[in-house]
Amino acid sequence: MPSPYRALFTAPGAAAFSAAGLLGRMPLSMMGIGVVTMISQVTGRYGLAGALSATIALSAAALGPQVSRLVDRHGQRRVLRPATLLSLTAAAALLLAVRLGWPDPVLFLCCAGIGCTPSIGSMTRARWGKLYRGSPRLHTAYAFESVIDEVCFILGPIISIGLSTAWFPEAGPLLAACFLAAGVFWLTAQRATEPEPHPREHHTGGSALRSPGLQVLVATFVATGTIFGAVDVVTVAFAEEQGHKGAASLVLAVYAAGSCVAGAVFGLLRLTGPPARRWGLGVCAMAVSMIPLLLVGNLPFLAVALFVAGLSIAPTMITTMALVEQHVPRAKLTEGMTWVSTGLAVGVALGSSVAGWVIDAAGADAGYGVPAVAGAVAVVIGLLGHRRLSRPAPQREGTDEEHVEREQRHVA
């Protein structure tokens, strides 16, 4: 491990909460695809499988920021454990309902309950923020977290699909639930690195989403999530058309690997200049990287194109988290980071559904037009909101009302 990354773990407790965060984050990439695999194997109904997976994503998008808001107010330990127990109970009920053949509405209700799963990535990033706020090491820490995200998305689907197909249909979601339980309870047992709650600031202020800067980031990431959701679905369809459906997971792993490599290198850089400019360049790069996908003719070319496209993902995500840290009051940092993830999740659900409709109507080749259009939308939103992000960051020690008033004066 290069020395800047090794230096992160000189702080007491850093290695432990990072390892716990890795375990707790695995369900992010395992649960949805595990449910799809499980339902398609048990019932053969791909439409139901996709709808249940989308229900989990949308439920997490709705409930995740609320859980994180409670975390900022009351602390990680007091909130994450009850929320995780609710999610685990819903997951257990889903597995039982599938095994016993219960009606579809019960399955949807269980999937909605799984959405209580906390945003573990936001929790670990908040801990890094506590350790290294104001230090150049925070940039490296956020880069490391993005690499961990990509590792989860490389390994998670392979593990989940492999277990459900080789062992028994419920194996993938079951292991995802076990990872969640182990990660959350290990993380919340580590009190020394837990960020302090801010009950007074939350009592007097509103949501972190009142920040104009955060609104730009979330809106842009809805479009960015649409790219990710569409690329996943279209790649599976394209591989099937090529007669190698099983290769889709490997091609998508290459996509995540490109982001993983870029994130690792980006974390080693000592960058100067405003982060808003780097963020804008990253969004533009993601959009441009979608254009070659319109020209793909075979799986090897698609793999190369997706690896190149992945190079812009992690640097943009890292810079996004740095901007959240700048534009959101410290008392609402976890909630602010979760809102970005929520925008991404909404976009993934939107991209998956729109891409599926386009594929049914015009084929997989036409489906790659969906991420291309979504990339263009992301650029437009980023350009329109760039002024909100590029202005000098306000002092973040004040109350929420003072912070929002300063934000709104700058926008005006």
Q: Using one digit for the tens of pLDDT, what is the confidence trace for 166-212?
A: 888 899 899 999 999 999 999 999 998 988 887 665 445 567 767 78
160 & 212 share domain: no
Assess if residue 160 is contained within a domain: yes
Residues 238 and 287 in one domain: yes
Residue 314 within any structural domain of the chain? yes
Among 132, 162, 196, where does a domain finish?
A: 196
**134 — alpha (psi -120 to 50), left (phi > 0) or beta?**
left
Nearest 5 degrees, angle CA 126-CA 22-CA 118?
A: 55
3-state secondary structure of 213: helix
pLDDT reading at 321 higher than 50: yes
For residues 5-12, give the mean pLDDT.
87
Whether 307 is covered by a domain: the verdict is yes
Q: Which of 85, 91, 111 is nearest to 184 (CA)?
A: 85
Residues 173, 272: one domain?
no
> What CATH number is attached to the domain comprising 179?
1.20.1250.20
83 vs 387, which has greater pLDDT? 83
Q: Of the residues 135, 164, 196, which one is the last residue of a structural domain?
A: 196
142 shares a domain with 255: no
Return the residue matching tokens 């800047």. 4
CA separation, residue 121 to residues 44, 130, 218, 251, 402 (Å): 33, 14, 16, 25, 28
The percentage of the chain sitting over the pLDDT mark of 90, rounded to a whole number, equals 28
Q: With both helix axes pointing from N to C terminus, report the angle between 248-268 and 212-241 in degrees, rounded to the nearest 10.
A: 140
The angle that helices 171-188 and 137-166 make with each other, rounded to 10 degrees, is 150
What's residue 407's pLDDT? Answer: 40
Of 276, 286, 281, 249, the C-alpha closest to 377 is 286
Do residues 191 and 213 share a domain?
no
Classify residue 355: in a domain, yes or no: yes
Between 356 and 246, residue with greater pLDDT: 356
Residues 183 and 220 in one domain: no
Say if residue 39 is in the same domain as residue 188.
yes
Q: What is the DSSP letter of 306?
A: H
In terms of domains, do 253 and 120 share one?
Answer: no
pLDDT at residue 105 greater than cutoff 90: yes
Distance CA 312, CA 112 (A): 32
Q: Is residue 188 part of a domain?
A: yes
Which pLDDT does position 306 carry in this prediction? 93
In a domain, 70, yes or no: yes
pTM of the model: 0.75
Residue type, 341: S
Among 79-83, 120-124, 200-204, 275-279, whose mean pLDDT is lowest?
A: 200-204
Residue where a domain terminates, one of 145, 168, 196: 196
The domain total for the chain is: 2
**Domain encompassing residue 50:** 15-196
Burial 22-34 (b: 16+ CB within 10 A, else e): bbbbbbbbbbbbb
Per the model's pLDDT, the better-predicted residue between 405 and 170 turns out to be 170
Q: Are residues 41 and 136 in the same domain?
A: yes
138 shares a domain with 57: yes
Q: Does 154 share its domain with 258?
A: no
- 189 and 321 fall within a common domain: no
Question: Is it the case that residue 393 has pLDDT exceeding 70?
Answer: no
Residue with tokens 């880069």: 143
